[in-house]
């Protein structure tokens, strides 16, 4: 059974940084593409960044150049470094497997104040 546990969210001022972590279990982590999703208030959940098993990355236009996704296969963990945060980055952040969507974790709340 896949389990995804997100952490690292918080309250930050615009321009600040946060680093999110997602610990995965129940999968062969090193073989899977992993992604970070964001659900802003009143909006649908969207994929903001993904990283393949080989380390290739893709980003939504809204976060390109500000967010960096990375992974540590020895820890079964995927990270999202978020810099130059904006109020519109506010939302609940989740990780999941873009090509094998599994049960969603509880997410981690990110709130960016202006």
Joined tokens for residue 39: 């659900």
- Residue 108 to residue 92: CA distance in whole angstroms: 5
- Residue 114 to residue 109: CA distance in whole angstroms: 16
pLDDT in tens, the chain (114 residues): 999 999 999 999 999 999 999 999 999 999 999 999 999 999 999 999 999 999 999 999 999 999 999 999 999 999 999 999 999 999 999 999 999 899 999 999 999 999
Task: Name 10's bridge partners.
Answer: 110
Looking at residue 70, its pLDDT comes to 98
Do the beta carbons of residue 45 and residue 25 sit within 8 Å?
no
Using alpha carbons only, what angle is made at residue 91 by residues 90 and 93, rounded to the nearest 5 degrees? 125
> What is the chain's Cα-based Rg?
13
């Amino acid at each position: 059974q896949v389990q995804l546990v997100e952490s690292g969210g918080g309250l930050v001022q615009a321009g600040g940084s946060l680093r999110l972590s997602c610990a995965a279990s129940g999968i062969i982590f090193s073989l899977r593409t992993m992604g970070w999703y964001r659900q802003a208030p009143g909006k649908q959940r969207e994929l903001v960044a993904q990283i393949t098993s080989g380390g290739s990355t893709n980003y939504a236009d809204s976060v390109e150049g500000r967010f960096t996704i990375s992974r540590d296969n020895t820890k079964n963990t995927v990270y999202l470094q978020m810099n130059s945060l904006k109020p519109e980055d506010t939302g609940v952040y989740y990780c999941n497997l873009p090509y094998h969507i599994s049960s969603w974790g509880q997410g981690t709340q990110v709130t960016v104040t202006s």
